[in-house]
Copies of this chain bind each other. A is one copy, B any other.
């Protein structure tokens, strides 16, 4: 079980879009160049964000993406689920039903014990991601990066924004 690389890309792209000047858009091309990623494939991840209404997009020249909400209204879970889907990581196929000792026509009440344990862990994972807002993530990144790099990165984004 491993998350798709789209998740990593989407998170980094959202962090970049957070630094975009008000009302401007940043193109897929710029985002791809910045991260050294294939433009066409990155575009799939961004489309997923768009479908989840996390980013706005506009067409034509000077077109591209920008965040659809304030960074404090977007959680990391929102981004992960936009790309990876909301489905649980554990799927119960109800194999207990094959137990040869069960009377014919026996019907289970509720999900099986195994599924409940796995789903609780899944919820713990989601809860952890839900507690981190994009604004928190951006603040952490800003702390990590040396100030001069942070400044020139902001300038780079502003220069490529349309």
Q: Find chain B residues with CB under 8 A from A90 CB.
A: 2-3, 7-8
Would A114 and B137 count as touching, CB distance under 8 A? yes
Q: Contact string, A79-97, partner B, CB cutoff 8 A, digits 1/0?
A: 0000010010111110110
Q: Find chain B residues with CB under 8 A from A129 CB.
A: 117-118, 121
When all copies of this chain in the complex are counted, the total is: 2
> How many A residues face the partner with a CB closer than 8 A?
61
- In the complex the two chains form, what is the Cα distance from A39 to B22 in whole Å? 60
Would A100 and B140 count as touching, CB distance under 8 A? no
Would B149 and A8 count as touching, CB distance under 8 A? no
Quick one: which of A43-72 are within 8 Å of B by CB? none
Would B1 and A144 count as touching, CB distance under 8 A? no
Would B91 and A3 count as touching, CB distance under 8 A? yes
- In the complex the two chains form, what is the Cα distance from A9 to B114 in whole Å? 10
Would A100 and B33 count as touching, CB distance under 8 A? yes
Residues of A in contact with B (beta carbons under 8 Å apart): 1-5, 7-9, 11-12, 15, 33-37, 76, 84, 87, 89-93, 95-96, 98-103, 106, 108, 110, 112-114, 116-118, 120-122, 124-129, 132, 137, 140-141, 143-144, 149, 152-153, 155-156
